[in-house]
Amino acid sequence: MIVGYIAYALLGANGFINTALKEAALDPFPFYTKPDPWRLILIVANLWGGVGFGTIIYLAGMIGINPEFYEAAQLDGANKFQQIVSITLPLISYLIVIQILLAVGRIFFANFGLFYFVPQVWRNGALLPVVDVIDTFVFRALQGGSFQAGAGVVKLGMAAAAGFYQSVVGLILIVSANLIVRKISAEHSLF
């Protein structure tokens, strides 16, 4: 929700960007009625929201590496790139594999908060063709319809089928990815 409020403060009719456009004697851009820029806006918002957590995970893994490994490599004449390739990446490879396996399992799950709160589709259904994902579809079905898009009432059974589909496909993908990891390196697989 916080990202949604920040996005609205930047992109709203009286937001920072449109105020700057008005000050520059340009026409304001109606972000919340034009679906075209939302593909890029959602990618940037998702990266902004997710890069920090991933950075903390990898940083914690790198902090756990014994500094004597780097000292020994430096004495042997290894530069920073060689240290990264020979020490850092192999020692955090288990984190990389876990992060990839978790990401593969969530391929069909969207960030509901990102697609619901940031574009604020409950106010205006004009963005629905761009931001409607399985999660928002299920939510709209449970609410009994659409966000002013004129689609009518969506059946509850269809929403349950969509949620079940997400879960089954996610399970199949994570088990398949784990089997591939197990064939490559058994010590890195989750199960």
Question: d(Cα 68, Cα 65) in Å, to the nearest integer?
Answer: 9
pTM of model > 0.75:
no
Flag whether pLDDT at 60 surpasses 90: yes
Confidence of residue 48 (pLDDT cuts 50, 70, 90): confident
Tokens for 15, please give them. 């937001």
Tokens for 53, please give them. 């957590």
Flag whether pLDDT at 50 surpasses 90: no
* Whole-number percent of the chain with pLDDT over 90: 39
Q: What is the pLDDT of residues 153-190, one digit of tens each?
A: 456 777 788 888 888 998 999 999 999 999 998 888 88
**DSSP per residue, 142-187:** HHTS-SSSS--PPPHHHHHHHHHHHHHHHHHHHHHHHHHHHHH-GG
Give Cβ neighbours of residue 32 (< 8 Å, ≥ 6 apart): 11, 12, 13, 119, 120, 123, 124, 126, 127
CB 37 within 8 A of CB 119: no
Question: d(Cα 79, Cα 159) in Å, to the nearest integer?
Answer: 55
> Which domains does the chain show, CATH number per domain?
32-188 (1.10.3720.10)
